[in-house]
Structure 1
Amino acid sequence: MKPHYLTPLFSPRNVAVIGASDTPGSIGQSVFANLLAGNFQGKLFPVNLNHKVVGGIPAVPSVRLLEVPIDLAVVTTAIRSLPAIMKDCGKSGVKAVLLAKEFADSEQLEREILNEAMSIARHYGIRLLGPNVLGLMRPVAGFNATNYTSKVRPGNLALVSQSSALCTAMLDWADSKGIGFSSVISVGEGLDVDFGEILDYLVADSFTQGILLHVHHIHDARRFMSALRAAARTKPVVVIKSGRHEDDVTGVTHSSNLVESGDVFDAALSRAGVLRVSTIAQLFTAAKVLAANFRVQGRRLAIVTNGIGPGVLAADSAYGYGVELARLSEGTMTLLNEVLPRNWSHGNPVDIIGDASPVRFRTAVKACLDDPNVDGVLVIFTPQAGTDHLTTAQLMVGLQREATKPLFLSWLGDAKVSESRDLFSKAKCAHFRAPEFAVEVFRNLAAYHHNQQLLLQTPAPLEGMRQSPDLARARAVIDRCLTDGRLILSERESKGVLDAFRIPVNPTRLARNADEAVRLAEEIGYPVVLKIDSPDILYKSDVGGVELNIINETTLREAFAGIMERTRNARPDALIEGISVQPMRKRRFAREVMVGVTHDHAFGPVVTFGAGGIAVEVMRDRALALPPLNPYLIDSMISMTRVGKILGHFKNLPPVHLDELEDVLLRVSEMVCELPEIREMDINPLVADEQGVIALDARIIIQPVKADHRRYSHMAIMPYPAHMMHSAKLNDGTVVIIRPVRPEDAQMQQAFVRNLSEESRYNRYMSSIKQLSQTMLVRFTQLDYDREMALAMTRQAEEGEEQLAVARFITDPDNEGCEFALEVADAWQGKGIGYILMNALFDAAREQGLKVMRGEVLAGNKGMLKLMHKLGFTVEPHPEDRALTLVTKDLAV
């Protein structure tokens, strides 16, 4: 890959400081002094209209007078001079500009000047960081282009913050704790360079081992999510969010009224595989623990202590944090009964009594670590008569080196146990002054593990061999409403869309008068339900527009008249189409749930699930997730709700048909993927029991989309591109399938590489590897389809699906071009595979708007070079490596 296009901004060699000054207290003086004092290895050039020398270095009045190419210009002058400065930078070939000067957002004139400067920057291809930023630091390179006056240590954490004030607070806190940074990037308003691009750069930065992110708002959710997911696959990412209750989701349905913007942001971070924290202290603690590679595989904690009081308090903290206390296995309980005093607690917390010896501690802790029901162990030591804190600590250090599960150590007290704490620090053990801090960290590690599992989920718009939806019928309903100038679908129309996506609905038929209602009721069969049918009335019960359990004609005629009268009195302005007649569904063991869709201004469609019926807003029992969904994500959603606890066996109730409920959520996910017009939706109640599910009521809110809308561009997470799947026939007549690679293809991909000849493996990977490492396997099968693609060619063999070849590309960070690779199994060479697969790859690259495809081929690989010529690539020798040949294709041709 070529160097990241933001390298001139974050790793500049030649830096001009426009407005560099010797005037005390000025930003120009602070920034330039920090650059001089930081031992920056590049060259600095002060630019000042009035002084010929700044800081002992000759200055020039304009960046255009500098004779060397400038990577980065740091602007510290007043905003009014920015358009002229930007023109000078553009004409001088400056690649990036850092706006270190704040401006008043409330001043209309300054806003206009800033917009003019941005327009000039775009014209010249200049990337701009800011305004309203603290600045930019690369402590590992001695680069400090900020006005921050305190010390910042070099380290392996990158800090990216949207707030200069919060950034300075974080730096001050970090210095007091001895925490260092690879980069400190203040984003400010983010008019140009934003989180997504910064994260892209940090993913490839070898100095950065973990990323700390402060976010207030997001401009480009798709770019943000793609970059965040890419970062989280290789490095721990911890996020703190400010303004949780600002910009709440607004809408008219229950689904929207139950959701806050902070909830959507949490769901997005979970899906990205990162950890969300609430305080600065948590931010750095979580980062240190994750960077030290402490991991858990679940949320079940065992507590071992020699004091029941601290143990119970720790258990209370666990309950408060939502951490599950492990239920010790029978084998562990038998062992502890044999080795511990008879008056031990006989449960979790494991109280091993106050006089516990170091060996007793080790025996109890080892038993808990070996228990399959335990994911982590918290050890609480209280200095009492007969105890030995240091020997106990030494045994715990040894246990941690042996164990695969994390051990959290809390030695209570101060001076008496200080030597043990020093030992823990030297051994890099996770130790805490208070047990509740350890519980909190364990909770965060469990959440991180859960989120990492969510990161692996890359579901198709609709998975499995289910019956395909009738998209044409659903779109016809929506188009008709938009043509009529309506944004709210009636219940009949909403159910029509659901039915088109194979979601079971209670049939709804329209009666315009009482006689029609009687006829329909007789056809359906009593008992029936009557509901007012009006596009202007969202919730029919609010106007008395519903009558249930109507058992005969007399009652029906009275109910019909009553509904019409009440509705006209309550909403005289409403258009009334008539009254709908539906079967009255009575199910003895039914549970009412709700499935909905809402829309977040940043992250787009959000699917919600929770308790349904009339108590939906009172209980506020709901979970949400960003689509697309799959069974793992759906199970995770359901398990987070209270109503989810009664969907299985519950008292006298048989379990509901969970497969049918899961299918409805998958269908709803498919709806929002394929129908970008859907803005909000409620299916409430959705009745579920042992027989299946059925939607008794539904309402959909729509909104027109732009004519140039690209498929799935309304979503924050790109779905599996199932539309790229197609069949082909090889030269020998073999029928093959070409499809995008999925995470579950990992073993098939490993078998493919293992069966390649040594020569083929070397030609592809430039090494003599026998098989892919776990890291490479994850990288090749867990894809972000918005920025990369891998197409596998497979056939159906007796033992299952067999991979014959794979072609992939990875886009450049600027999304202009991509680099490709092609692998074909040795046994299938010469059958036209390369030609077929590469043409499919061209189509995928063009769909993503890419313009150029590049690759490298070994100069001695004549067969591959011949194929490249046939496919229209430009073939030329590599300028730096004679063993390689460069191949390039213009995708527009």
Structure 2
Amino acid sequence: MNPHYLTPLFSPRSVAVIGASDTPASIGQAVFANLLAGNFQGKLYPVNLKHKVVGGMTAYASVRQIDAPLDLAVVATPIRALPAIMKDCGRHGVKTMLLAKDFSDSIPLEREILNESLAIARQYGIRVLGPVVLGMMRPVAGLIASSYTSKVRPGNLALVTQSSALCAAMLDWADSKSIGFSSVVPLGEALDVDFGEVLDYLVADSFTQGILLHVHHIHDARRFMSALRAAGRVKPVVVIKSGRFEESGDGLTPLAHRLDSGEVFDAALARAGVLNVSTIAQLFTAAKVLAANYRVQGPRLAIVVNGIGPGVLAADSATRMGVELPRLAEPTLALLDDVLPRNWSHGNPVDIIGDASPMRYRTAVKACLDDPNVDGVLVIFTPQAGTDHLTTAQLMIGLQREATKPLFLSWLGDAKVSESRELFSKAKCAHFRAPEYAIEVFQSLAAYHRNQQLLLQTPGPLEGKREAPDLVGARALIHAALSEGRSVLAEREAKQVLAAFNIPVNPSELAKTADEAASLAERMGYPVVLKVDSPDILYKSDVGGVELNIGNEIALREAYHAIVTRARRARPEALIEGVTVQPMKKRRFARELVVGVAHDDTFGPVMSFGAGGIAADLLHDQTLALPPLNGFLADAMIDGTRIGKTLAGFKHLPPADRDALKDVLLRVSEMVCELPEIREIDINPLLSDGDGVIALDARLVIAPAPPRAKRYGHMAIMPYPSDKVRDAVLRDGTPVQIRPVRPEDAEMQQAFVANLSEESRYNRYMSSIKQLSQIMLVRFTQLDYDREMAMSMVHDGENGEEQLAIARYITDPDNESCEFALVVADAWQGRGIGPMLMNVLFDAARDQGLKLMHGEVLAGNKAMLKLMHKLGFSVNVHPEDRSLTVVSKPLTGAAGGE
């Protein structure tokens, strides 16, 4: 694979410091001195217009005078010189630039100069990081292009932050804890190089084992989530957010008013498979533990302690942090009964009594590690008469090496157990001075495991084999309302949209007179419910516009006139269309639920599930998730609420139909995927019992959808592009399916690579690999369909589904072009697979708004060259190396080839 295009920024072979100076306290002096002191191994060139020598090195008046290629230019000059510097760098062929001064508070004239400079950079293809006052650091390469004055240790963690001030504080804190970094990247305004591109580089960086991210604001949620999900698949990412409570909900429905920007951000990070923390200490602790490859497979913790007091305190902390203390399995309890004193606690925490010997500790801990109900074990040691802290510590170290589950060790005390702590540090065991810290780390690891599971979910907007919705009818209702200038659908219209997506609703029909209401009630059957119908009244009960349980015609006529009178008195300016009539549903054991959608300014549509009715506002029992959903994600939403725990049956309540409820969540997810005009949904109450679900009331808030180049551009997470799945037949009559790659294709992808010839593998991967590494396999099968597409051609063979070919593209930083790759299994070549698959790939790229596809194929591969010509690519021999042929194709016209 070719080096990442940001390699000249992070691993330059030559650096020019423009504005390098000997003037004390200047940025140019600080940056150049740090580069000299950092033992940078590449070529270093000071550039100073007035001085011929800087720092004892020959200085150049301009980069034009440097007779050598330059990878990186660090600019520490006043902004007025920037356009000329940018032109000089562009003509010299400089690849990347770091603006090591802060121009974020510039006056309008200087802002205009900065924008002009960035335009010049784009003209010459220069990538620009900053402007940022702290500069950038790559300690593992000795590249300290920064004005930071304290020590930064090399290490395996990368730090990416939007704040230079916070970055400096983090670096100072990390140095006091002996934590080192592979890279330190303050992004500043991120006018060019942004979060996504930096994360892309760090994912492929062998020096980086974990990524720390500080986020304050997000410019483009889709690109942010795309990059974060790509990084989270390969390496542990820990995020801290500042400004969590700066925004407040704004909308018409209760969910919109309750929406907390911090909770929305948490939901987004959960879908990205990363860990969200709230303090700097947690940030570094979690990153160190994750980078050391500590993992748990669930939230269940066993505690082993030689004293019930510390055990109860630890259990209280676990409960407070949401860590589950499971009941031990019966075989484990029987074993412990045999080997422990009779007065042991007989439960979790496992109190093995104060005089516990090292072997008693080992036996109890080993039993808990082997218990199927346990995901991790916290061992607490208190120095008491008859105990041996050092031998116990040695046994725990040996036990950790043979265990598949993590051990967390907490030796209480100070001087008496200091030798054990030193032993733990040398053995790189997870040890803590207080059990609370260990439990906090375990909780973080459990959250990380859960988020990694959420990351693997790639639901489609119309996933599964459920009955397809009436998209045409739903869109017609919404567009009709928008054409009338309305932003709120009437209840009966909202229910029609829900019904179009096969969500069970209590039908509502409009009656403009009392006579019409009586006729409708007679047809529906008494008792009925009457509600005022007005596009200007969102909540009818607020104006006395609802009457329940009407049992006869006389009561109905009285209620009709009373509702209209009260509504007109309360809202004289409102348009009263009439009154809707609907059956009165009495379901004795039904739970009142609410399913909603609100619009977040950053992440777009956000779904909510929780307790409905009046409890919705009182209890705040809700979970949030970013659509699209699948069954796993819908289950997670339900299980995250207190009301969800009653669905399986609770006291006198029989079980509810959970599958029917999940289907509603999935259908609402489909609605917000396919109907970008929807801003808010409030289905409340949604009744759920053993007979299924039914929406008694619903509200939809809509707005015109802005034009977007990409399908599903209104969403932060791109759904699985199920619209790209198609069936086809090869020239020889073999039926095949062409579809986007899914995470579960990993095993099939590995078999495909293994069955390629050595020549085909080398042509595709530029190496003689026989199988893909785990990291490569994850990157090739767990896709973010916004930035990358892989189309696989499969057919049902004798041993199940078999991959015949795969074509993929990856978008370039300009978001207008992409690089492609195509591989056809050797045994299936010559059957028209290449053109068929590439044409599907062309369509996918065009749908994403891409304009150019390019790549490289071996010049000696005549079949590939013939195919490229046939598909409409321009083909030219590369001037530097005639063994390669560069191919490109504009994507504005129709795809060529058959």
Alignment TM class, shorter chain as reference = over 0.9
Q: 1:797-851 deviations in whole A, cap 9, x for unaligned?
A: 5765443333333344554554444444455443322332222223223333151
Contact 1:489-1:701 within 8 A present in 2 as well? yes
CA distance in structure 2 between the aligned counterparts of 1:712 and 1:822, rounded to whole angstroms: 26
Question: Does structure 2 conserve the Cα–Cα contact (< 8 Å) formed by 1:791 and 1:808?
Answer: yes
Pair 1:169 & 2:169 matched: yes
Q: CA deviation at 1:124?
A: 4.1
Distance in 1 separating the partners of 2:132 and 2:826: 57
Aligned residues: percent identity?
75
Equivalent residue number for residue 597 of structure 1? 597
> 2-side partners of 1:813 and 1:20: how far apart?
30
Aligned to 2:73: 73
CA distance in 1 between partners of 2:109 and 2:568 (Å):
53
1:493–1:37 CA distance, 2 compared to 1 (3 A): same
In the other structure, the counterpart of 1:494 is 494
Is residue 268–residue 625 contact of structure 1 (8 Å, CA) maintained in 2?
yes
Q: Report the Cα offset of residue 200 of structure 1.
A: 1.2
How far residue 598 of structure 1 moved from its aligned partner, in angstroms, is: 1.1
CA pair 129-678 structure 1, distance change in 2 beyond 3 A: same
* Aligned twin of 1:194: 194
TM-superposed CA distance for 1:180, in Å, is 0.7
Mean Cα deviation higher: 815-824 or 52-61? 815-824
Residue 517 of structure 1 corresponds to which residue in structure 2?
517
Whether the 8 Å contact between 2:530 and 2:582 is mirrored in structure 1 is yes
Checking the alignment, whether the CA contact within 8 Å between 1:365 and 1:377 is kept in structure 2 is: yes
| SS in structure 2 at match of 1:234 | coil
CA spacing shift, 1:377–1:878, aligned 2, 3 Å: farther
Which residue is equivalent to 1:221? 221
SS at match of 2:219: coil
* Secondary structure at the counterpart of residue 324 of structure 1: coil
For residues 402-436 of structure 1, the C-alpha deviation after alignment (integer angstroms, 9 at most, x for no partner) is 00000000111111111111111111110011110
**1:775: how far off?**
4.2
Q: Does 1:854 align with 2:855?
A: yes
Q: Is the 8 A contact 1:609 1:638 kept in 2?
A: yes
Tell me by how many angstroms 1:509 deviates: 0.7
- Give the structure 2 partner of residue 419 of structure 1: 419
- For 2:513 and 2:867, locate their aligned partners in 1 and report how far apart those are by CA, in whole Å: 72
2:384 match: secondary structure: coil
Tell me, yes or no, if the aligned pair for 1:461 and 1:722 is still in contact at 8 Å: yes
Q: Determine if the alignment matches structure 1 residue 455 to structure 2 residue 455.
A: yes
CA distance in 1, matches of 2:621, 2:56: 66
CA deviation after TM superposition for structure 1 residue 551, in Å: 0.9
Question: Counterpart of 2:371?
Answer: 371
Say which SS state the counterpart of residue 607 (structure 1) adopts: strand
**Structure 1 residues 421-480: Cα deviation after superposition (integer angstroms, max 9, x where no partner):** 111111111001111000000000101111111111111112111111111111111111
* 1:237 and 2:237 matched: yes
* Higher mean C-alpha displacement, 213-222 vs 5-14: 5-14
SS state at 2:227 partner: helix
The one-letter amino acid paired with 1:643 is I
Aligned runs of 1:27-46 on 2, under 5 Å? Answer: 27-46=27-46
| Stretch of structure 1 that moved more, 346-355 or 703-712 | 703-712
Distance verdict in 2 for CA 1:198–1:759, change over 3 Å: closer
Cα deviations by residue, 1:548-578 (Å, 9 ceiling, x for unpaired) = 1111111111211121122112211112211
**Contact 2:647–2:655 at 8 Å: present in 1 too?**
yes
Equivalent position of 1:330 in the other structure? 330
Shift of 1:213: 0.5
State the AA in 2 paired with 1:684: N
Structure 2 equivalent of residue 888 of structure 1: 887
Partners of 1:432 and 1:367 lie apart in 2 by 22
Q: Matched residues in 2 for 1:807 and 1:281: separation?
A: 44
2:404 matched residue in structure 1? 404
CA shift at 1:891, angstroms? 3.7
Q: Distance in 1 between matches of 2:58 and 2:859?
A: 50
Q: Residue 145 of structure 2 aligns with which residue?
A: 145
Contact kept? 2:379, 2:410, Cα under 8 Å: yes
Shift in Å, 1:886: 3.9
Tell me the distance in 1 between the aligned counterparts of 2:24 and 2:827.
Answer: 74
**2:608 aligns to what?**
608
Inter-partner Cα distance in structure 2 for 1:3 and 1:57: 31
State the alpha-carbon separation in 2 of the partners of residues 639 and 619 from structure 1. 16
Counterparts of 2:552 and 2:133 in 1: how far apart (Å)?
72
Residues matched between the structures, number: 891
Matches within 5 A, 1:432-471: 432-471=432-471
Q: Per-residue displacement from partner, 1:10-69 (whole Å, max 9, x unpaired)?
A: 233333333332222222222222122211223333333443332223334444554444
* Counterpart AA for 2:445: L
What one-letter code is carried by the residue in structure 2 that aligns with 1:302? A
CA-CA distance at 1:583 after TM superposition: 1.0
Alignment partner of 1:280 is 2:280: yes
Normalising by structure 1, we get a TM-score of 0.95
Contact 1:5 1:813 in 2 (8 A): no
Provide the rounded CA distance (Å) in 2 between the counterparts of 1:367 and 1:204: 40
| Stretch of structure 1 that moved more, 19-28 or 150-159 | 19-28
Q: Quote the residue 1:181 is aligned against.
A: 181
CA distance in 1, matches of 2:675, 2:145: 47
Contact 1:846–1:891 under 8 Å retained in 2: no
Which whole-Å CA distance do the structure 2 matches of 1:645 and 1:190 have between them? 45
Alpha-carbon contact 1:530-1:560 (below 8 Å) kept: yes
Q: Which residues in structure 2 correspond to 1:455-604 (within 5 Å)?
A: 455-604=455-604
Q: Which ranges in structure 1 are unaligned for 5 or more consecutive residues?
A: none
Give the match for residue 807 of structure 2.
807
SS of structure 1 residue aligned to 2:576: coil
**Distance in 1, Cα, partners of 2:854 & 2:157:** 34
> How big is each residue's C-alpha offset from its partner over 1:295-340, in whole Å with a ceiling of 9 and x where there is no partner?
0000000000111111111111101110000210000000000000
Question: How do residues 245-394 of structure 1 correspond to structure 2 at under 5 angstroms?
Answer: 245-394=245-394
- Quick check: 2:157–2:209 contact (8 Å CA) kept in 1? yes
* Structure 1 residue 880: Cα displacement: 8.8
More displaced 10-residue stretch of structure 1: 790-799 or 393-402: 790-799
Distance 1:644 1:726 in 2: 38
Q: Residue in 1 aligned with 2:723? A: 723
Going from structure 1 to structure 2, the CA distance change for 1:421 and 1:238 (only over 3 Å counts) comes to same
1:864 CA displacement: 4.6
SS at match of 1:441: helix
Contact 2:821 2:855 in 1 (8 A): no
Q: Is the 8 A contact 1:248 1:262 kept in 2?
A: no
Show the counterpart of 2:735. 735
CA distance in 2, matches of 1:401, 1:446: 21
Aligned CA distance change for structure 1 residues 198 and 826 (closer, same or farther; 3 Å): closer
Change (3 A) 1:765 1:183: closer
- The Cα shift of 1:100 comes to 2.3
Counterpart Cα distance in 2 of 1:252 and 1:582: 24
When residues 802 and 654 of structure 1 are mapped into structure 2, their CA distance, relative to the original with a 3 A threshold, is farther
Measure how far apart 1:218 and its partner are: 0.7
2:15 is paired with a residue whose SS is strand
CA distances 1:635-654 after superposition (whole Å, capped 9, x unpaired): 11111111111111111212
Deviation at 1:755, TM superposition (A): 5.8
**Residue identity matched to 2:189:** E
- Aligned-residue CA RMSD (Å): 2.4
Partner of 2:781: 781
8 Å CA contact retained: 1:876, 1:885: no
CA contact (8 A) 1:875 1:885 kept: no
Deviation at 1:596, TM superposition (A): 0.9
Report the Cα distance in structure 2 between the residues aligned to 1:881 and 1:64, rounded to whole angstroms: 28
CA contact (8 A) 2:834 2:867 kept: yes
Once residues 225 and 341 of structure 2 are traced to their aligned partners in structure 1, the CA distance between those partners, rounded to angstroms, is: 54
- Asked if the contact 1:795–1:802 (Cα under 8 Å) also holds between the matched residues in 2, the reply is yes
For residue 838 of structure 2, what is the aligned residue in structure 1?
Answer: 838
Alignment-mate amino acid for residue 53 of structure 2: V
Gaps (5+ residues) in structure 2? 894-898
Residues in 2 aligned to 1:483 and 1:597: alpha-carbon distance in whole angstroms:
23
Contact between 1:595 and 1:683, CA under 8 Å: does it hold in 2?
yes
Provide, for residues 95-131 of structure 1, a one-character-per-residue CA deviation record: whole Å limited to 9, x for no partner: 3332322346385554444444444444444333223
Amino acid at match of 1:786: D
Aligned residue in 1 for 2:896 = none
Task: State whether residues 16 and 46 of structure 1, in contact with CA within 8 Å, keep that contact through their aligned partners in structure 2.
Answer: yes
